[in-house]
């Protein structure tokens, strides 16, 4: 598989996760915590975003469709947030652990995943086609 197919989704997801690190800096957290936030949320969101791009490039997901994107992120976003919680706890406390009331946490993340899906889809529909055209016909 060509990594360039998944790059637009990875970039969008990673940049969305980077916002968590920037917010940590804005509220006065140490820069190391900001790096942990970027690594633990940016990387999973980037990987899931890359998966979405590849699915779209291979025609497994309809282009421009909100329902497929929303369904994809309904599962991917809560999983990425759960990974962030577990890995952040591991990095900062030295032991992994689930958030309290994990099912409630996952349900809430699933609810807000629709908002993330809208933003992701909007950016992806503007960036990915130009990127794929560029890598298909290099100058």
Higher pLDDT, 5 or 25: 25
What predicted TM-score, i.e. pTM, was given to this entire model? 0.88
Per-residue pLDDT at 1: 53
Q: Is 117 exposed, middle or buried (0-12, 13-18, 19+ CB in 10 A)?
A: buried
Per-residue pLDDT at 3: 75
Whole-angstrom Cα distance, residue 76 to residue 56? 15
Cβ within 8 Å of residue 99, ≥6 positions away: 82, 85, 105
Q: Per-residue pLDDT tens for 56-78?
A: 988 898 887 889 999 999 999 99
Whole-angstrom Cα distance, residue 89 to residue 36? 10
């Amino acid at each position: 598989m060509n990594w360039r197919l998944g790059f637009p989704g990875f970039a969008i997801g990673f940049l969305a996760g980077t916002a968590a690190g920037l917010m940590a800096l804005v509220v006065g957290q140490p820069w190391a915590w900001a790096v942990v936030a970027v690594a633990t949320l940016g990387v999973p969101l980037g990987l899931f975003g890359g998966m979405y791009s590849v699915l779209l490039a291979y025609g497994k997901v309809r282009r421009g469709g909100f329902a497929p994107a929303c369904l994809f992120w309904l599962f991917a976003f809560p999983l990425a947030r759960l990974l962030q919680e577990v890995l952040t706890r591991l990095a900062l406390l030295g032991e992994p652990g689930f958030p309290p009331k994990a099912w409630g946490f996952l349900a809430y993340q699933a609810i807000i995943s629709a908002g993330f899906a809208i933003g992701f889809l909007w950016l992806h529909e503007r960036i990915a086609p130009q990127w794929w055209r560029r890598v298909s016909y290099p100058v």
